[in-house]
Chains A and B, each alone.
Chain A
Amino acid sequence: MQAEEIKDEIKKIVGEQINFEGHFNSVVGNMPEKIQLNLLEWIKKCKEQELDPKPSPNFRELLVFFFKPYITNIRGILTKKKNSYFIALFLDKHKYYDRERRKLGFG
């Protein structure tokens, strides 16, 4: 799937307001299809409260889900406002992911 197609799929699941962050287009576009499908499945689970979010120690209103497929160095962070909408999906290589985590209060 192309990056834009995946973005559309994600918007269908979590809403149009979602922002895409990190080197999203290039990372998602170069992912093997199996991982792309895993990503979409994971987002569905986040939306349907099948996965346990982590509260940020720095931002009381923020809930965070981490996407960590074992076989690649691609990582994702889905942020959600508590009791409200999904804010952003960050997707990048693990080095940038570590930086983004720290910004959100996760060491």
Chain B
Amino acid sequence: MSKLINQLNMEHLQVNHSLLVPSIFTERQFELLGKKVQEKKLNKVEQVYFSRAIAKKLQAISSLADLTERVFVEGEEKMIPERKKEAIKLLKTIERNHKGIKILIAGSFLYNKKYNDIDVFLISKYEKEDYRKNKVHFNYLNSDVVDSLFFSSLSKICVANFDLGFLKVKEEISLNQIITKYQEVMDDILNKNNKWLKIDLRDFIVDCNYVGEGVIMDSDQLRKVLDNLLRRKNKAKLINKLFVYSVLNGFKDKEVKTASLNMIKSYQDLMKKYSKFKEHHQVLINVFNEVLSCAS
């Protein structure tokens, strides 16, 4: 039963409401099932009612549908067929040791001949440490991550043991988020911190494409854009342009103007005290001025 619960989400339930109520569940039972799916706490009466009236029905449905054997594949057209097979095999093995947990295999292993490791994501209610076993990197994610842009991007090419068709990005990417990620990327360039640049730039590109174009990039598209940017000598200029375009396209002019003015003022203050970074601060001021002039 826990596995069937694992496959469900609220959107899934709501879409199928008329099929489920009253044929299988009463309205009250459906409501409780919804609470359980959303991992809301049930009181004692509800717990007893759930296990007596609902869990048994789920068990029966599960045995008919054989949902425990289901595998969901997204972005199959980009996958190397042998890797897809390997991933499904690996998913089944991991499932045996992690019963009732949502598992997803994603990343370059699925579509790129060369890969560093196999990324496995386990969605858990509890905080757990990530770990590595041979080539497999086990990443634990909280269940609230499912609504995030990061997860939507990740799951565009993946093999999973749960239905991803109903995923929606509920996370709102704020202007502050874009500005602070931009600061961090520029900081990585300043400090020649290439390891962090790769990580921070990846997040920045995903966010910019989402707010600026409404596009959720898959990991393959992202890798190509990232590699292309990283090998360029003038990457800072291109990143500046991406930033200016994304904030202007993704947010209201009034909000953009206020934020830009604040950042310009902050960097002007910083220049006085942190003279060592004067040149770097001037670049950032120029970029915020460009945003300001376009938004006016």
Chain A residues with a Cβ under 8 A of chain B: 49-50, 52-55, 57-58, 60, 63, 66, 68, 70, 73, 82-83, 93, 95, 101, 105-107
Number of A-B contacts (CB under 8 A): 59
Q: In residues 181-210 of chain B, which contact A (Cβ within 8 Å)? A: 181, 183-184, 187, 190, 195-196
CA distance A49 to B179 in the complex (A): 22
In contact, A70 and B263 (Cβ under 8 angstroms): no
Chain A CB within 8 A of B178 CB? yes
Picked from B263, B270, B280, the residue with its CB within 8 Å of the CB of A57 is B263
Measured between C-beta atoms, what is the minimum distance from B287 to chain A in Å?
Answer: 14
Contacts of A55 in B (CB 8 A): 263, 266-267, 269-270
Interface 0/1 of B270-282, CB less than 8 Å to A: 1001101100110
CA distance A82 to B176 in the complex (A): 19
Measured between C-beta atoms, what is the minimum distance from A56 to chain B in Å?
Answer: 8
Measured between C-beta atoms, what is the minimum distance from A60 to chain B in Å?
Answer: 7
- Known: A52-B276, A73-B130, A107-B174; 9 extra A-B contacts, CB below 8 A, are A52-B280, A54-B180, A55-B266, A57-B262, A57-B263, A58-B176, A83-B273, A95-B127, A107-B177
Measured between C-beta atoms, what is the minimum distance from B203 to chain A in Å?
Answer: 9
Contacts of B179 in A (CB 8 A): 57
Given A105-B176, A106-B180: A53 and B270 interface contact (C-beta under 8 Å): yes
CA distance A95 to B181 in the complex (A): 17
Given A55-B270, A58-B176: A95 and B277 interface contact (C-beta under 8 Å): no
Given A73-B130, A83-B273, A106-B176: A52 and B181 interface contact (C-beta under 8 Å): no
Contact residue range for chain B? Answer: 20 to 34
Smallest CB-CB separation from A106: which chain B residue? B180
Measured between C-beta atoms, what is the minimum distance from B204 to chain A in Å?
Answer: 11
In contact, A82 and B269 (Cβ under 8 angstroms): yes
Contacts of B175 in A (CB 8 A): 57
CA distance A83 to B270 in the complex (A): 9
In contact, B267 and A53 (Cβ under 8 angstroms): no
Contacts of B174 in A (CB 8 A): 107
Picked from A70, A73, A105, the residue with its CB within 8 Å of the CB of B180 is A105
The 10 closest A-B pairs by CB, nearest first: A107-B177, A55-B266, A106-B180, A52-B277, A57-B176, A54-B183, A70-B195, A107-B176, A107-B180, A105-B176
Chain A CB within 8 A of B63 CB? no
Smallest CB-CB separation from B187: which chain A residue? A52
Measured between C-beta atoms, what is the minimum distance from B202 to chain A in Å?
Answer: 14
